[in-house]
A and B are shown apart, each in its own frame.
Chain A
Amino acid sequence: MTVTARHQALAGVVGLALLCLPWVRHALEASMWRHMIVQFPLLMGAGALLAAGLPARARTAVARCNAQGICGLLLVVLVLAVGMVPRVLDLALLRPEVEWAKLAALVAAGAALRLSWRPAGLVLQFFFLGNVLPMMAVVGSLYIESPLRLCNAYLLDDQARLGEWLIGTAAGVAALWLAWVAWVMVRREARAQLGAPSRAPR
């Protein structure tokens, strides 16, 4: 484990401990949009940092069951799909066992995302985002359009704001990924031209 990896894992432990503190949880879960748009990604971030602390042997063992990052990305899709069911938010407030299961699932999803992102490659990343982001946008528009409160614990305007954030986040992530892909392509192209100046560009 390198020094930065240890630092990252340490940051993950500290972050997760902070997120588990009752008053931090209550503050984040007091509003519907903070619950999903702030707490969910923070927990996934803590999981991603923790994944840096995995010893090499464990990493190899995980990679053996995770060809092209397929299992990891599948886990993330499933956790996000189930996590966006409105009942999860209500139950997480009412039943501690659901709250802890939600927490563990999101941390695991964050770790899985980090371990699977590179192995997946651009094509699988595109496939993954092509599933997750439209799902987020559709759920977001349902939250905005619903005339009924979908969670007993939250108000209608809070729900609509969550919907807007979900759509905005989906659009933002898509734009970021496309920009990143464009940058990778340009760099690849440049490298190819430098490496083989005599060959005609494809």
Chain B
Amino acid sequence: MWRTAIVSVLLLLCGYSAAAWLTRDFQVWTDEGARRHDVALHPVPAPAVAVQGPGVTAATLPALLAEGGDVHIVDFFYTRCLTVCRTLGGSFQQLQAALQADAAAGQPSGVRLVSISVDGAHDDPAALTAYAGGLHAQPALWQFVRVPDAAQQQALLRRLGVVVVPDGRGDFEHNAALLVFDRHGRMVRVFDLAEQQLALNYARHLARQPAPEGLS
């Protein structure tokens, strides 16, 4: 009987350790939760993938995110999307309006928006231009890019923890979120779509921090 007791205690310890590891000490239950938790603790540098988009001069994503020493709020979308990307587009329009209001009040926030397509094969610069026009995006505040190389696009999505799954009706579902990148081009936070105001305030706060050397 004592053997049974000892083995039971060992099993309980193993089960507890497995559950604690899996849930980051019982803080998260989903992989998306773990992703957000991990990003907040360990910022993820943007991988050096080639990007392309209307009015975009930077050749790679890190270069784009380092432009002007601004903080960036990034989302993933694709132009043929009829569901969640519409919501995202709406969120970004509101964010753009808030940033415009900042600038109009004489206090540019130092925050800019970037939308990255997950459908690089279809979303060429012409498609992106049309899509941006439909959302009344101001190029100075909100840029649209694609990653033309399929392998690089896959690597980017994997690095940033973006999962795209076909929904069986010709559309795609993805863990849509607002990703905040600091001035160094590191992903530092992932916010839910519903936390738009929080994401904006966090980005403004980051942008107000003293600029690092070598950047204005």
Contact = CB atoms under 8 A, between A and B. Distances in A.
A90 interface: yes
Interface stretch (A5-13, A80-88, A174-182): A80-88
- Most A CB contacts (10 A, CB to CB) among B6, B8, B33 go to B8
Given A71-B7, A74-B8, A87 B22 contact: yes
- Most B CB contacts (10 A, CB to CB) among A66, A71, A91 go to A71
A33 to B, nearest CB: 14
A138 interface: no
Interface string A109-142: 0000000000000000000000000000000000
A69 B68 CA distance: 67
A71 B8 contact: yes
A107 to B, nearest CB: 16
Interface stretch (B38-46, B59-67, B69-77, B160-168): B160-168
Given A66-B4, A87-B30, A155 B22 contact: no
A174 to B, nearest CB: 23
Interface string B1-45: 101101110011011001100110000111111100000000000
Contacts of A68: 4
- 4 nearest CB pairs, A to B: A78-B15, A90-B31, A152-B163, A67-B4
A42 interface: no
27 contacts: A71-B7, A71-B8, A71-B11, A74-B8, A74-B11, A78-B18, A81-B15, A81-B19, A82-B18, A82-B22, A85-B29, A86-B30, A87-B28, A87-B30, A90-B30, A90-B31, A90-B163, A149-B32, A149-B173, A149-B175, A150-B30, A151-B31, A152-B30, A152-B165, A154-B165, A155-B168, A155-B173
Interface in A60-102: 64-68, 70-71, 74-75, 78-79, 81-82, 85-88, 90-91, 94
A17 interface: no
Given A78-B12, A152-B174, 19 more contacts: A66-B4, A66-B7, A67-B3, A70-B4, A71-B4, A71-B8, A71-B11, A74-B11, A79-B15, A81-B19, A82-B15, A82-B22, A86-B29, A87-B33, A91-B22, A152-B32, A153-B165, A155-B168, A155-B173
Interface of B: 1, 3-4, 6-8, 11-12, 14-15, 18-19, 22-23, 28-34, 163, 165, 167-168, 173-175
Given A71-B11, A78-B15, A149-B175, A87 B1 contact: no
Contacts of B1: 67
Contacts of B34: 87
Contact of A65 (B7, B19, B174): B7
A24 to B, nearest CB: 20
A163 to B, nearest CB: 15
- Chain B, interface SS category: helix
Interface of A: 64-68, 70-71, 74-75, 78-79, 81-82, 85-88, 90-91, 94, 149-155
